[in-house]
Structures are given as C-alpha cells and as structure tokens.
Structure 1
C-alpha cells in the first residue's frame, strides 16, 4: 500500500493505493463514519487485478474538511472524484454507505467516467427517498439522520471518547472487527480538527427527507427518473443483517439500472467489508468475469 496527499480542485486529499498503476483502476468510496483506511483488509484482495484507489473523501480523515455545509452538496463531492479520476477513466467504482451515494451520482452525472458500478449496502436516491417518506420501517431506521443534522451533534458524538458515535456505529450489528489498533486508528481519524463536523455535513447538505414514524410525507417533488439512470453494468451486494438500510430501499432499482445483478451475503450486515472481505472480493471477481 502507498499513500500520500493529492491536490484535487486546489484542495488537499489523502489517497491510499494498492497494486500496479498500469492495471485498470478501481475506485473505492467509503461511507460514514469511516475513512480510506476502512479498505485495508479488502483492497489487497483485488490488487492483482486493479490499481485500487481509496481516498479519504471530503470531510474525512486527512483530507480537506471545510466547515460550511454548502461545501458538501452532491455536485461538489462528485467533483472531487472527477478530479481524482482525471484522464484515467473510465474506471470501476465501488461505493459503500455514503460512498454509494457519491458512486451513484458519479454514474449519473459523468457516465463516461464509470465503466462498472458496484454498490455494497448503499442505496439509490430514488427508492431510498420513497421508503424514507412512507413513515414506515425505513423512516424509523433513518431517524438517526435527523439527530445528526441537528446543530452541535458532532460535539455530542465526540463526548466521552466518542461514546455516542460508537453506539450509533454499532447498534445491533457485528462490530467485533472494531477493536485494538483498528479502533485507535478510527478515533485518530475522528479526532482530527473539524472532521466530525465535516463528516456530519454530508447529512446536513443532503436534500433527502426523513418522515416521522407513522406520518408519511406526500408532497415531495418527483425525482427525474431519466437523470438517475445507471447506464453501465451494475452489481448490488447486500449484507442481509443491515438494520440501518432495509431491503425495501432497493426495491425497484431495476427501473434505474437495466443491467443489474444482485448478490446477498446472508451472514453479514452493514459492515460486510470488515466481516467478509474475501467473500465479497470473490463476488466482485465472479461478476467482473461475466460482464
């Protein structure tokens, strides 16, 4: 693994890479509350086939973390990745959690840069918004978003050595991987000045609406289906034990991705890359061999 700072759109970003730079590129996009180091078990498993690239995204780790919520709109998050890809596209893109949101937006806005799209326990904005607006199970599971959006939530999460952040991170899921040196590195990333605010600003800048449980929101503006299409081969990998993102939030994804393959990992949850890295790498290889 190699790592260092890159200038993207005039700002510093920390990027980790694995494998021969002459190989095809695989861009890995982490979610909340992780950072580029989250891929350290998974990335080497594909480094014989790809030059694997894993940035700390805006607001995370050692990368640029502006305080202004307006700096975290989807178009700005995507612009970072457009700059990172540069003239080396198209690339295969894999996104998890919030990284999936950037991966989808990159595929929508710059389809010429994405040859294949892999999403793992992440959601397309249209089905996700549909489910969050119903006031049902996904609305209940997503109430933490409203908590995070509240001003000052970063201070509450950081208190007592990140006690509330760890509770949010691990609720009812297998966190046996987050201990020892791994946990220490996460705390180091969270503790960098301004990083927790930057991380949470992703939620604050998002236009997605979370209904209160039992109170559907029915006056949402319809999302433009044509502008939200995935036009390349698309693989969705799903850890079945996820309690934050529910399977219903992926229903109808075929309407937005004509070339979609679904693979369920039965004995994993939202943190599947830490729990089953080799199994997921094998799924990715098998799919690549068939597309």
Structure 2
C-alpha cells in the first residue's frame, strides 16, 4: 500500500489519502477523523465519487474514523475497459481489499448508496463477511438477487398488488435499458455529462440545490465508465437470481420518493437478513446530498446499537 498525505480537495475535512491495490486495480482511499476511532466505510454509486459524502463526513469524523474510496471506474481509481471487470464479485473483492488495508484487525461499519450499496450487498452475503463488516446501512441500492426474486414472486402471485409492484419497479428501472445499450448512452453522456447539467437535473428531479452537491472533476468520464456496472450485472442478476443471505446486521434507509428503486422492492429483505432495521424516509434518491444529517444520525444510532 502506498501512502500520500495531504488535504482533501473538497475542503470538507482534513484527510489522509491512500492508494490500495487489489491485483491490477488501484483504489483511491480517503480517511478522516481520529485514527483510533471506530472505522466507518462510505461507498458511493453512479455517477459519484467519494465526494458524494462531503456533507456526511464532517458529521461523523468528530467521533469515527471515516474511510471513503473511489470505487473502480470512478475518480482517481482504476477504470478497466472490460465490462466483465465490473461484475459484482470483483467489486466485492475491492471492498475487502480496502478493509484489509485500513482495518486489518477490526470489522468496519459500512454506509453505502446506489451501486455502492449494491456491491456491499454482494460482499456481506459472502461467507465470513461478518469478520469484515460489523454493520451495513444501505441507501437506495438493493441486493439485485433479492430484488429479482421479489419481482418474480409478484408476477407469479397473480394479484393486482404483486403484479402492480413488479410493473412499478420495471418502470422505475426503465432507464437501465438505455444505459445498457452499446453506443448511444456513451454518446449521450459525452454531450450532456457536465456539472452544470447534472446539478440542474438533480434540482429539477429532487429539489436539491447546487450548493448541496459535491462533484468530482472526473464527472463526465465517471458517468461513461460507470455504465459498465449496469451492463455487467443487471441482466445476469435479473434472469438468474441467487440465494443470498447475510448474518451482518443491516439497516435500510428507504427513500419513498426514490426515482430508481420503489420502496416495495425491499419488502422481502427480512427473509434474507438475520438482523434488519428499516426506516422509510420521504426523500429522493440522492439522500447524501439532500439530507446528510439524516444519514449521519441513523448510521450513528445503528453503529452504537451493535455489540462492542
């Protein structure tokens, strides 16, 4: 592991910056807060980087040792061109590599959003995951196997509620079909993948002001690179869901106005998790921007509730 110390570019807090290796992948890792604090790892999704958490970090770093990282394909981390490099099992190994590097003797608490949450679901359902993860707070990113199983059950139920729930989720996920096309989405984001347009989109869709949004200078390439997450995983998981369970305590922050994931999609989660807490919030998809205090508050309460 190579260490470079310096200031965090966002100015949100002083950081310690690392490069963690996972085979050929280099991951940019940022640490905040006391080095002897309880470790909390923050994992972002599409099209964000560790800057997604700029509003959350200062609320946790007085107490916790907060670690965030650019997942593969984003920011200052490696961005392989092969779609297969973004399969969930490979993303999970990145997470485990980060944990082994920054907290080799103590399991970490994790807070993850969007595709960050999807890949942490993959990790916590691996055998022995509780040796690495003490708790997992999931935001706007389901376990894709659980979601696919829930959708199939809805169709097979033959009920209006079951079929309607599945159709509602299909409509919310319709954008993923566009994202998985071979050429068009890449051209689209080369044209519109600017900070100004993305902030306007978030204001129109979620009512989030520009001042609340922290973006990396790599936004356009991150948007394009991150499309590989969809192509590598959506079809495989929707048409071949696996039996995936976890003993890691899980907290769901379910945003009831989420444009991407319908709240009902989490209704079966308790079947797959030994310990589950759920909070429904009247918020949109990008909760880390719109209400970082809610994330910090729920994460802190959940972490403190775990056995020491």
Q: TM-score, normalised by structure 2?
A: 0.80
CA shift digits 1:120-178 (9 cap, x unpaired):
1221223321355556010111011110011121221220454998399639632423x
The answer to whether the 8 A contact 2:59-2:293 is kept is yes
- Following superposition, the deviation at residue 74 of structure 1 comes to 0.9
The answer to whether the 8 A contact 1:25-1:50 is kept is yes
Q: Distance in 2 between matches of 1:83 and 1:89?
A: 14
2:142 paired with 1:123: yes
Partner of 2:219: 190
The answer to whether the 8 A contact 1:158-1:164 is kept is no
Sort the Cα spacing of 1:222 and 1:61 in 2 relative to 1 into closer, same or farther, 3 A.
closer
Sort the Cα spacing of 1:180 and 1:48 in 2 relative to 1 into closer, same or farther, 3 A.
closer
RMSD over aligned CA atoms reads 2.6
2:278 paired with 1:265: no
2:65 paired with 1:51: yes
Sort the Cα spacing of 1:158 and 1:283 in 2 relative to 1 into closer, same or farther, 3 A.
same
2:257 paired with 1:241: yes
The answer to whether the 8 A contact 1:174-1:269 is kept is yes
SS at match of 2:252: strand
Q: Distance in 1 between matches of 2:280 and 2:294?
A: 11
Q: Distance in 2 between matches of 1:237 and 1:39?
A: 16
Q: Give the 5 Å matches for 1:206-217.
A: 206-208=233-235
- Following superposition, the deviation at residue 49 of structure 1 comes to 2.5
Unaligned runs of 5+ in 1: 212-219
Partner of 1:281: 296
Unaligned runs of 5+ in 2: 1-13, 156-165
Sort the Cα spacing of 1:253 and 1:161 in 2 relative to 1 into closer, same or farther, 3 A.
closer
Q: TM-score, normalised by structure 1?
A: 0.85
Q: Distance in 2 between matches of 1:257 and 1:94?
A: 16
2:58 paired with 1:27: no
Equivalenced residue count is 274
Out of 106, 113, 126, the residue aligned to residue 96 of structure 1 is 113
